[in-house]
Amino acid sequence: MLILGIDPGTAIMGYGLIEKKGQTLRAVDYSCWRTPADLPMPYRLKILFENLENFLLKYSPDAIAVEELFFNRNTTTAISVGQARGIVLLSAARNNIEVFEYTPLQVKQAVVGYGKADKHQIQYMVRALLSLTENPKPDDTADALAIAICHAHSQRL
């Protein structure tokens, strides 16, 4: 089973594709897509959409796992993350791929075993669980892999 984890954002959208065979997890492809800050939002969203569409055509994942929108204090960030999530949901629907959503707490518990884990703990466990030689960077990429791992450990497969 191929699971694509997405950490949505308009400046940086992290992605991590993992393969689950039995109890074994393996990283297939992971990185992030970046958009120029000086570009108007519609064009940033277009870049993200095109990158995601090309990725889905290349790999045809079985499922997409995405982080639920977490609203803290910054409404501007929440809105842009919501727009990036919209792109993921639209692209998944266009390609008939089921989407699964997880809260940051669920991801941290699934990967680290502790809901208040910090970025370093998440990176360490992602590296260990996927047998990577180094921590995935940037944080958005590690988070995307963590979201994919969360889904791989979920009962919703």
Backbone angles phi, psi at 93, to 5 degrees: -65, -40
| Torsion sign over Cα 75, 101, 29, 126 | positive
21 in Cβ contact with 6 (< 8 Å): no
Give residue-wise pLDDT tens across range 101-149: 999 999 999 999 988 899 999 999 999 999 999 999 999 999 999 999 9
Q: Which residues are catalytic?
A: 7, 67, 140
Give residue-wise pLDDT tens across range 16-54: 999 999 999 999 999 999 999 999 999 999 999 999 999
Fold of 2-152: Nucleotidyltransferase; domain 5 (3.30.420)
Distance CA 60, CA 4 (A): 9
Q: Where are the domains of the chain?
A: 2-152
Give residue-wise pLDDT tens across range 10-26: 999 999 999 999 999 99
Q: What is the pTM assigned to this prediction?
A: 0.94
